[in-house]
Amino acid sequence: MQVRNDWTREQIQALYEQPFLNLVFEAQRVHREYFDANTIQVSTLLSIKTGKCPEDCKYCSQSVRYSSKLEAEKRIAVEKVIQEAKQALAAGSSRFCMGAAWRNPHERDMPYVLEMVKEVKALGLETCMTLGMLNQSQALRLKDAGLDYYNHNLDTSREYYSHIISTRSFDDRLDTLDTVRAAGMKVCSGGIVGLGENRKDRIGLLHELSTLAVHPESVPINMLVPIEGTPLADVEKLDVTEWIRTIAVARIIMPKSYIRLSAGREALSDSDQALAFLAGANSLFSGEKLLTTPNAGGDKDQILFAKLGLKTEKAKATVAELAVDAMAS
């Protein structure tokens, strides 16, 4: 199957609405053309600055506008970040993703994040950050410091977007993705299902992602984690098969991308997760916590991987190798 950037909404809808088992079967077939079906990539997330975000994303625990019970924290020290990154490496992650509750990084934040990228990269981990909107100079400096991936999600369809966020536009998000790409970093961009959107919106999101000039290398498909105090706290729960359909279509239309089973795994049984892997998901966030909410990761993941015979992609260095290097120098 060729990589295409000219998918139409109608074609995506036809894929999405076919019988579930046909869809999953097709997604698995495409998956095997490009990937080892029994290997997944594992990332660990860390919130480097939590809460008091000026944006109004209706799903988010970190927006200053809603009364979630989250306790805000100032920027955490670089040494603490490095400690957490070493633990992630020891636990088998190949990528470390650092997130901040910012609309965009301020100039005064740049030395802090650049230092962090350099040090995490030096551990042999792939680096990823999600800091909000970026300008060109910030993107270039992050790239130079060794940032491999930048995460910035489109979140939902262009049509539904204004129901979810008003403080930055859909086009602002596309601009940031262009800036990241132009700076030479890999793009991590996906969205959330279960925001109260309908199928057309999930199809619209998939259409936007798959018609970008270059597909994002990593596509996180989050399921809403409902947060008390936010406007979406009581939104009706989406059936899990819709999440799996979204994953399966993403796999078919962006065949070379890593499709990430993201936020919401806590609500999934082992067999639901196995179904998501069958539908072509081949990466996830491990660890006990996402940014601010609990995650199904840690030991539970190791048990699940063993049960399913899944191998994980290895980081360039291991903690043991780092220790030997340190002794030798």
Could you list the residues that contact ligand SAM (CB under 6 A)?
59-60, 99, 101-102, 130, 132, 152-153, 155, 192, 222, 224-225, 227, 263, 291
63 touches, from ligand DTB, ligand SAM, ligand SF4, none (C-beta below 5 to 8 Å by class):
ligand SF4
Q: What is d(CA 129, CA 225) in angstroms, rounded to the nearest whole number?
A: 21
Place of tokens 């936010």: 230
Place of tokens 């890999």: 186
Question: Interface with ligand DTB by CB under 6 A: which range of 133-141, 230-238, 289-297, 319-327?
Answer: 289-297
53 catalytic, yes or no? Answer: yes
**Which of 121, 81, 126 minimizes the C-alpha distance to 99?**
81
In this complex, which beta carbon is closest to ligand SF4, that of residue 60 or of residue 252?
Answer: 60
Asked if 63 touches ligand SF4 (CB under 6 A), the answer is yes
Three-state SS at 294 = strand
Question: Residue 28: what are its φ and ψ, rounded to 5°?
Answer: -65, -35
In this complex, which beta carbon is closest to ligand SAM, that of residue 272 or of residue 322?
Answer: 272
DSSP symbols for 247-286: HHHHHHHSTTSEEEE-TTGGG--HHHHHHHHHTT--EEEE
Among 93, 246, 292, 312, binds ligand DTB (CB under 6 A): 292
Neighbour count for residue 254 (Cβ, 10 Å): 26
Q: What CA dihedral angle connects 296, 237, 40 and 5, to 10 degrees?
A: -150
Contacts of 239 (CB under 8 A, 6+ apart): none
Among 76, 89, 98, 101, binds ligand SF4 (CB under 6 A): 101
In this complex, which beta carbon is closest to ligand SAM, that of residue 27 or of residue 180?
Answer: 180
Question: Interface with ligand SF4 by CB under 6 A: which range of 57-65, 181-189, 203-211, 214-222?
Answer: 57-65
In the structure encoding, which two tokens stand for residue 249, read together? 């279509």
Asked if 53 touches ligand DTB (CB under 6 A), the answer is no
Compute and round to an integer the Cα radius of gyration of the chain: 19
Q: What is d(CA 301, CA 148) in angstroms, rounded to the nearest whole number?
A: 25
Q: How far is the CB of 293 from ligand DTB (least distance, A)?
A: 4
155 touches, from ligand SF4, ligand DTB, ligand SAM, none (C-beta below 5 to 8 Å by class):
ligand SAM
Asked if 225 touches ligand DTB (CB under 6 A), the answer is yes
Asked if 220 touches ligand DTB (CB under 6 A), the answer is yes
Q: What is d(CA 1, CA 8) in angstroms, rounded to the nearest whole number?
A: 17
Three-state SS at 217 = coil
Place of tokens 């955490």: 76
Q: What is d(CA 182, CA 150) in angstroms, rounded to the nearest whole number?
A: 12
Q: How many residues bind ligand DTB (CB under 6 A)?
A: 16
Among 27, 30, 45, 60, binds ligand SF4 (CB under 6 A): 60
Asked if 230 touches ligand DTB (CB under 6 A), the answer is no
Q: How far is the CB of 192 from ligand SF4 (least distance, A)?
A: 10
**Residues placed in the known binding site for [4Fe-4S] cluster:** 53, 57, 60
Which residues are marked as active site? 53, 57, 60, 97, 128, 188, 260
List residues near ligand DTB by CB under 6 A.
45, 61, 99, 130, 151, 153, 190, 220, 222, 225, 262-263, 290-293
List residues near ligand SF4 by CB under 6 A.
53, 55, 57, 60, 62-63, 101, 132
